[in-house]
Amino acid sequence: MQTAATAFVAPIVIATPTPIDTLRLAIDQLEVANYDPNGIVLHPNDWAKVELTKESTGGYIKSDPALANVRTLWGRGVVVTTAQTAGTFLVGDFQRAATLYDRQDPTLDIATQDQDDFLRNLLKLRMELRLSLTVELPGALVTGEFA
């Protein structure tokens, strides 16, 4: 999805933006384009930076280490994955941007006839599912790098 996304261009200029600021500006970029951003994708290191951001008195802005924190930012769910490159982000209206096509129902094959599987009480399983994800509205996705 990230390769089909629109490049991040801050719609307004703010002095020394933090990663939290940058993500809010990416949300704004989508809202100005009449999309409803509903999710953020971050690398675990970048999410850690967000959670470890402190205010001037030393308290955490986003999280409380004593609580089980929900992964949200600016009211949008955050998905943390190593599939996202560190130092980059993806923000989007994922419901409108992409469609998941299910080409074939799940198929489960079970075999006992390979070599001596039957004698050794072994089974071999194969599971298949055919899916396709298409990005139909690349403008509903914004990707960029943290400064």
For the chain, which residues make up each domain, given as ranges?
2-97+136-145
Cβ–Cβ under 8 Å, residues 46 and 82: no
Query: What's the CATH code, domain 2-97+136-145?
Result: 3.30.2320.10
Cβ atoms within 10 Å, residue 53: 14
pLDDT tens digits in sequence order for the chain, 147 residues long: 667 899 999 999 999 999 999 999 999 999 999 999 999 999 999 999 999 999 999 988 887 787 877 899 999 999 999 999 999 999 999 999 999 999 888 999 998 887 888 888 888 899 999 999 899 999 999 999 997
The token duo for 43 is: 């690398």
* Residue 6 DSSP class: E
Residue 36, amino acid: D
3 state SS of 41: strand
